[in-house]
Structure 1
Amino acid sequence: MRQDEIWDADTAGRYDTPGTGMFAPEILGPTVDRLAALAGDGRALEFAIGTGRVAVPLSGRGVPVTGIELSGPMIDRLRAKADEATIPVVVGDMATAVAPGAYALVYLVYNTISNLLTQAEQVACFRNAARHLLPGGRFVIELWVPELRKLPPGQQATVWQVEPGYIGLDTYDTLRQHVVSHHFRFDEGRQARLTRSPHRYVWPAELDLMAELAGFELESRHADWAGAEFTADSRSHVSVYRIPPDR
């Protein structure tokens, strides 16, 4: 599955859920608050800006936001909310595409670095972030923690969410650090709709090494955007990396 096949018009349409899901105020509010504080008076660049879930409210807070995005349908959804003058977007891959100017903050949310399916591409993403940052600038990544502790010997799948009309499960290839997320959506009928997306999972320690290779230092790591403590039981993390001011 190529990324441009996964992030098509259908996916872009289902991704936008104003007021609910990842767009719920209790999720989006702390995200925007933290990013606005980290950007300060500077400019922000969002890798994989998507439909503007985070960029639009962050821009509304007075932070100048530019985006990089591979999916044309995602950009089309964004353009229904903000024009090019308000939120410029460079079409391309977040590991290689270059946006004009220099930034105080680059951010990559909602597990999106795992869409890059090789370690080399993920390292290139860090280096691309460093390329765009001013001295002292920060790169923020939101990423899930692989749930391999749930895998008993011989089992390759974990169920990570069950709710009315939806089941989400992941199948793991532990040799290649690959996981495929399977999303089953159904009603009271006999048929279910399945969508899938491939990812490369990354442990926090591996992520820190990627950051070091790109010239970053780990500044902080929390379990969520509100600043909860990151522990061995945390299912995700928000990690803030910084380019040394004297680089």
Structure 2
Amino acid sequence: MSVFDDPRHFGWLWAATYDGPGNPDPTAAVAFLGDLAADGPVLELAIGTGRVALPLAARGTAVEGVEASPEMVHKMRAKPGGDAIPVAIGDMADVPVTGPYRMAYLVFNTLFNLVKAERQADCFRNVARVLVSGGAFVIEAFVPDPADFDRNEQVQPWSVTEDSAAIRLHRYDREAQTFLRQTVTFDGTGVHLHPFAMRYMWPQQIDELAEHAGFRLAERYADWDRTPFGPDSTSHISVYRLG
């Protein structure tokens, strides 16, 4: 059994540092989602530490969440407003809530954290189960660039300080559309491993997945500011409607 079969795995490794530098500013995402959802209720899959959910709730939208990692939720609860958001602890592919919701959303490439095609399909099917007719499912994801994985394996330096050094290694399976990334850190306490994996998809493949679950693509943009999506776009915000 792979460690990536356990949805709690990501939180075990990353919750302690998840709110550090590197996460996107949520302002544009919150404005986009708030305009779409009005007063809600809405569901965030993989709500994490509340980066998007907390400012969205502060706008007046009723937000609920699903999160596999109790460690992530604990960090959210410690923030202003974090105690007011209901969160179901469980696998986002199972969508362990009843709804109904006007909108669900899954941001920051997190759909790809489901590393098996059948679990990605489960996610769409279960979101459809808890949305109202005509409800929206919003996906934020990168557009894969084959130049990023022109070799089966890649090694790159990651960080060097007086006290530690880290490297990142990638192994790609282009047929399965997956990659395994291992961040190896050497410091005074030993060697530390932080594995991470994704199953990436092109936008057209996500469209097909959505269609099989009863959704239709209603809108697509290159970013949260509604920049038109085009052949050179490196990311997309896709809004699917149920029915």
Q: TM-score range by the shorter chain?
A: 0.7 to 0.9
The aligned counterpart of 2:15 is 12
Q: Could you give the per-residue CA deviations for residues 128-157 of structure 1, whole angstroms, max 9, x where no partner exists? A: 1111111111000111122213444xx124
Tell me how far apart the structure 2 counterparts of residues 33 and 118 of structure 1 sit (CA, whole Å).
32
5 Å-filtered alignment, 1:14-93, equals: 14-17=17-20, 20-23=21-24, 27-81=25-79, 82-84=81-83, 86-93=84-91
Q: Could you give the per-residue CA deviations for residues 23-48 of structure 1, whole angstroms, max 9, x where no partner exists? A: 5xxx3110100010110232110011
Deviation at 1:164, TM superposition (A): 8.2
Tell me how far apart the structure 1 counterparts of residues 213 and 194 of structure 2 sit (CA, whole Å).
34
What is the percentage of aligned positions where both structures have the same residue? 42
Deviation at 1:197, TM superposition (A): 0.5
The aligned counterpart of 2:126 is 128
Contact persistence 1:91–1:97 (CA under 8 A): no
Tell me how far apart the structure 2 counterparts of residues 161 and 217 of structure 1 sit (CA, whole Å).
42
**SS state of the match for residue 7, structure 1?**
helix
Deviation at 1:210, TM superposition (A): 0.6
Deviation at 1:161, TM superposition (A): 10
Ranges in structure 1 where 5+ consecutive residues have no aligned partner: none
Tell me how far apart the structure 2 counterparts of residues 207 and 99 of structure 1 sit (CA, whole Å).
23
The aligned counterpart of 1:105 is 103
Tell me how far apart the structure 1 counterparts of residues 186 and 145 of structure 2 sit (CA, whole Å).
25
Structure 2 residue identity aligned to 1:181:
R
**SS state of the match for residue 21, structure 1?**
coil
Structure 2 residue identity aligned to 1:80:
A
Deviates more, 1:193-202 or 1:104-113: 193-202
Deviation at 1:66, TM superposition (A): 0.4
The aligned counterpart of 2:222 is 223
Q: Indicate whether 1:198 and 2:197 are aligned.
A: yes
Tell me how far apart the structure 2 counterparts of residues 228 and 112 of structure 1 sit (CA, whole Å).
21
TM-score by length of 1: 0.84
5 Å-filtered alignment, 1:177-216, equals: 177-183=177-183, 195-216=194-215
The aligned counterpart of 2:152 is 156
Deviation at 1:206, TM superposition (A): 0.8
Label 1:39 to 1:164 Cα distance change in 2 as closer, same or farther (>3 A).
farther
Tell me how far apart the structure 2 counterparts of residues 160 and 201 of structure 1 sit (CA, whole Å).
21
**Count of matched residue pairs:** 233
Q: Could you give the per-residue CA deviations for residues 206-228 of structure 1, whole angstroms, max 9, x where no partner exists? A: 10001001110101111111112
Tell me how far apart the structure 1 counterparts of residues 36 and 154 of structure 2 sit (CA, whole Å).
35
**SS state of the match for residue 23, structure 2?**
helix
Tell me how far apart the structure 2 counterparts of residues 90 and 125 of structure 1 sit (CA, whole Å).
15
Label 1:131 to 1:30 Cα distance change in 2 as closer, same or farther (>3 A).
same
Ranges in structure 2 where 5+ consecutive residues have no aligned partner: none
Tell me how far apart the structure 2 counterparts of residues 235 and 207 of structure 1 sit (CA, whole Å).
15
Tell me how far apart the structure 1 counterparts of residues 229 and 182 of structure 2 sit (CA, whole Å).
27
Tell me how far apart the structure 1 counterparts of residues 43 and 182 of structure 2 sit (CA, whole Å).
30
Tell me how far apart the structure 1 counterparts of residues 154 and 241 of structure 2 sit (CA, whole Å).
34
Contact persistence 2:10–2:69 (CA under 8 A): no
Label 1:135 to 1:90 Cα distance change in 2 as closer, same or farther (>3 A).
same
Contact persistence 2:186–2:192 (CA under 8 A): yes
